[in-house]
Amino acid sequence: MANMLPFSSNGLEPATNGLEPAINGKEAANLHDLSEPFVDNLAGQLFLNEAFKIIVEEVLCKGTDVKQKVCEWKEPEQLALLLDLELRATGESQHRLLQRVEDVAKYSIKTSHPRFFNQLFAGVDYHALAGRFLTEALNTNLYTYEVAPVFVLMELEVLRGLRQLVGWTEGDGLFCPGGSISNMYAMNLARYQLFPEVKSQGLWGLPRLTIFTSIESHYSVKKGAAFLGIGTDNIILVKVDDGGRMIPEDLDEKIKLAKSQGAVPLLVSCTAGTTVQGAFDPLDHIADVCEKHKLWMHVDAAWGGSVLFSKQHRHLMKGVERANSVAWNPHKMLTAGLQCSALLLQDTTNLLKKCHSANATYLFQQDKFYDVNLDLGDKSIQCSRKVDCVKLWLMWKAVGSSGLAKRVDRAFVHARYLVEQMKKREGFHLLHEPEFVNVCFWFIPPSIRGKEGNKDYQDRLAKVAPVIKERMIKEGTMMVGYQPLGNKVNFFRMVVFSPLLSQKDMDFFLDEIERLGKDL
């Protein structure tokens, strides 16, 4: 079982560790001498071993160590010089290549670092990461049972597990390259279900279709409408309440209005966990509206879907079981690793395949000796489709549904702690009480505290976050995102869910914001 390759104690010393003659040597062989392959497996595996050690040390050990920087800021021109990116005619020594692996690690952002709060992904799960390495090494494609027997069955099982959490005992689904494309699938499926002729004839013969989503939904709804030929003008934006949740009554009004203008309402894209505020649209109420008007109900739960693991918090998505489709990205809150994005469907009529199939005979031969329903590829708009299920499956096996539930519950506890601390400190002003783990706040520097009435207050406040952000990146101490929203000027969005996070990281965060912003 154990691998018997010699582990060199110093992978970067040239010429002494067997790495030098290596792989390139073979390729210098006569092109027409076919007796030997070009790549030498043993030399290649030696290189991989050395690279693995650098990855563990630089990315995983240092990259999760709070005594180390989150990022090593360089101006683009300077970084390009340091990395020597240019691609040349001749190859390089193994020694130089290992140095390159180290450089890439050094100047990349440590997204696993406990003080990386910049995106809706963060942290690392080592079981998931092992699953990802396994996936990369096995290098196959999820289109037929023939080339991916384990992964076809595994994807079906993982999708079944996710659907069960939604509340469906049957259904369909697929892993997609990100939540945006999952959302596009939902639009295309809704369109095909209503007008199957669209697949062959296109949109020209159809009435104008409209899509409804809240004003705080993700921008992918717009991108999808543009890409699918529906057009962004045919996205009708529904109002939200103070917490950022879609208002069902406004949805109902806007559907009626669209109908009266001759459009055919197609789909409502609800959001479970909005990108900025972390708001959950009231799914049960929206389901009533969708039922009344016979619209496809899609839930973009890319960010919030993981609350379904938690007995305590799954009420946030009450009504999700009434949806037609759900997009859920375990690469976000569950730390499965990019990319891991599931599209889940309640449909049991094989809509996914009917809508997307092209019946290519070179891949999906019908005279195979096994059940060709296991050839999943024709459900997809892709041909090559990456295997995204292994990481989630192995992590789920490792900690169980209960372990994943605990991580979700813990994230809420973290958010609550952060909110309480902010209330105790002068200068931190919450946008609202969070219902999820997005903690949105302004930092009010001493110079403008108590001056809300001043004419230039909003202008000055808007400039605070970008400066603090620049300072933290240049010092490399932490990373957090900021943005404006509607009439609210730049504020920070802190997200707390990484399994590497502890109280001291949150205390550090608050201290650091104060330190970086105190003179502004």
Minimum Å gap between C-beta 285 and its own copies is: 26
134 binds its own copies (CB under 8 A): yes
| Distance separating alpha carbons of residues 25 and 92, to the nearest angstrom | 11
Q: Nearer to its own copies by C-beta: 150 or 430? A: 150
Query: Which of 244, 245, 243, 293 lies closest to 268, judged by CA?
Result: 293
Minimum Å gap between C-beta 256 and its own copies is: 21
Minimum Å gap between C-beta 3 and its own copies is: 4
Question: Any alpha helices (H) in 334-453, and if so which ranges?
Answer: 351-356, 390-424
478 binds its own copies (CB under 8 A): no
Query: Which of 309, 244, 308 lies closest to 270, judged by CA?
Result: 244
Minimum Å gap between C-beta 6 and its own copies is: 11
Q: Nearer to its own copies by C-beta: 21 or 44? A: 44
- The residues near 22 (Cβ < 8 Å, ≥ 6 apart) are 40, 43, 46, 47, 93, 94
Q: Nearer to its own copies by C-beta: 285 or 391? A: 391
129 binds its own copies (CB under 8 A): yes
Q: How many residues bind its own copies (CB under 8 A)?
A: 200
Kindly identify the residues of this chain, within the stretch 300-319, that bind its own copies according to CB under 8 A. none
20, 68, 104, 448: which one contacts its own copies (CB under 8 A)? 104
Q: Nearer to its own copies by C-beta: 94 or 252? A: 94
Cβ contact 520:467 at 8 Å: yes
| Distance separating alpha carbons of residues 343 and 438, to the nearest angstrom | 23
**Two tokens at 397?**
């096996």
- The residues near 20 (Cβ < 8 Å, ≥ 6 apart) are 14, 93, 94, 95
19, 95, 113, 114: which one contacts its own copies (CB under 8 A)? 114
Kindly identify the residues of this chain, within the stretch 206-245, that bind its own copies according to CB under 8 A. 208-209, 218-220, 222-234
| Distance separating alpha carbons of residues 161 and 305, to the nearest angstrom | 13
328, 481, 492, 495: which one contacts its own copies (CB under 8 A)? 481
Structural element, H or E, at residue 482: strand 479-485
Q: Is 475 helix (H, G, I), strand (E, B) or coil?
A: helix
79, 372, 419, 430: which one contacts its own copies (CB under 8 A)? 79
90 binds its own copies (CB under 8 A): yes
204 binds its own copies (CB under 8 A): yes
Minimum Å gap between C-beta 247 and its own copies is: 21
37 binds its own copies (CB under 8 A): yes
**Two tokens at 227?**
């890409």
Query: Which of 200, 175, 170, 194 lies closest to 185, judged by CA?
Result: 175
Kindly identify the residues of this chain, within the stretch 178-197, that bind its own copies according to CB under 8 A. 178-181, 184, 188, 191
One-letter amino acid at 451 equals K
Kindly identify the residues of this chain, within the stretch 393-432, that bind its own copies according to CB under 8 A. 393-394, 396-403, 406-407, 409-410, 413-414, 417
Q: Nearer to its own copies by C-beta: 297 or 411? A: 411
Kindly identify the residues of this chain, within the stretch 341-360, that bind its own copies according to CB under 8 A. 341, 355-356, 358-360
Minimum Å gap between C-beta 419 and its own copies is: 13
Residue 480 phi, psi dihedral angles, 5° rounding: -145, 150
Q: In angstroms, what is the C-alpha Rg of the chain?
A: 26
32 binds its own copies (CB under 8 A): yes
For β-strands 488-495 and 116-117, DSSP reports them as unpaired
448 binds its own copies (CB under 8 A): no
| Distance separating alpha carbons of residues 63 and 58, to the nearest angstrom | 6
